[in-house]
Amino acid sequence: MAKIHESSYERAERGTMITHSDLPQSLLDSLGFDTSAKLRPINESMINATYCISMDDEKFLLKKFYADDATARSRPNLLAIQRKVAKYGLAPNPVYLCQEQGLYAEEWVTPSVKPLAIESAETQMFALSRALFLTHQLPITTELLDIELVWQQYLSTVQGDISRFNAQIEQQLPLVNKILDAKHNFVFCHNDLALGHILNHEKPIVIDWEYASTGNRYFDIRSSMAINRLSDAKCEMLISEYSRLSGIPERTIRAGLNEIEPIVNLTYKLWYAAIDEHLKRVNE
């Protein structure tokens, strides 16, 4: 999941960036490259690093994952899901995965000439609501997001006193069950839609489908609001535009978002706790 606030989580695992000598032959073979391929770092976070790997005029996005043990990502399943999304043109097509080495590659996406980060608030919220709506319209069926299981997976990595989390989970379980009963709200979700994940907002093309699943549309929308740290004004723009695209009344959207907010907040608390535990182990 994307960073949603400035904190000690700024501590990325520096010094872990891979070099050309770290590239497995199976990766080069899959891409049709040889040892003359060039590797250029793009960025690094607490859970992954991204690169551009290229040869001649062809290039791909390469990712190195760090924290799959903490976040319980099943890469083969996620790769299969993204391939389905790619068929509808909303995601780049995956081309390589080596889960043992934490390496993944996908087709390169040429970003919009003017990045969303420097566009107006109106343009940003239009692009974000459109990406959410198009994702929710995809006729893709996956396993339903089991929120309680996700919480327990995150919590299983945390050491020390977890009673505070257990109490919060117990308090929210009736709401989780209520949400799971609202099957009319089940759609295919991205669940990590930061503005930075919309690389080409004219088409659009979205990346980082690592938390995608079937789930509650309002969990997806509220997660996106949290990830992007949207102001109240931007939230209202997003709700208005999503309502226009989907035909769902704004009051219905607001009610759904308000109801699910405690679930989203607890999910992020547990995710950060799991990542923090992972970083402690790595830095010991």
Domain boundary among 86, 107, 128: 107
State pLDDT tens for residues 172-223.
999 999 988 888 999 999 999 999 999 988 889 999 998 999 999 999 999 9
Say how far apart CA 183 and CA 186 lie, in whole Å.
Answer: 5
Residue 56, both tokens:
């001649």
Write out the E strands in the chain. 38-44, 48-55, 58-65, 94-98, 103-107, 186-189, 198-200, 205-206, 213-216
| Residue 123 covered by a domain | yes
- Please check whether residues 141 and 239 belong to one and the same domain: yes
| Residue 3 covered by a domain | no
- Please check whether residues 150 and 252 belong to one and the same domain: yes
- Please check whether residues 89 and 129 belong to one and the same domain: no
CATH classification of the domain holding 89? 3.30.200.20
- Please check whether residues 95 and 120 belong to one and the same domain: no
Domain that residue 245 falls in: 116-283
Q: Report helix, strand or coil for 199.
A: strand
- Please check whether residues 85 and 134 belong to one and the same domain: no
* Average pLDDT score over residue span 251-257: 97
Q: Is the pTM of this model over 0.75?
A: yes
Of the candidates 90, 125, 265, which has an alpha carbon nearest to the alpha carbon of residue 195? 125
The total domain count for the chain is: 2
Domain boundary among 90, 107, 124: 107
State pLDDT tens for residues 101-138.
889 999 999 888 888 888 999 999 999 999 999 999 99
- Please check whether residues 245 and 141 belong to one and the same domain: yes
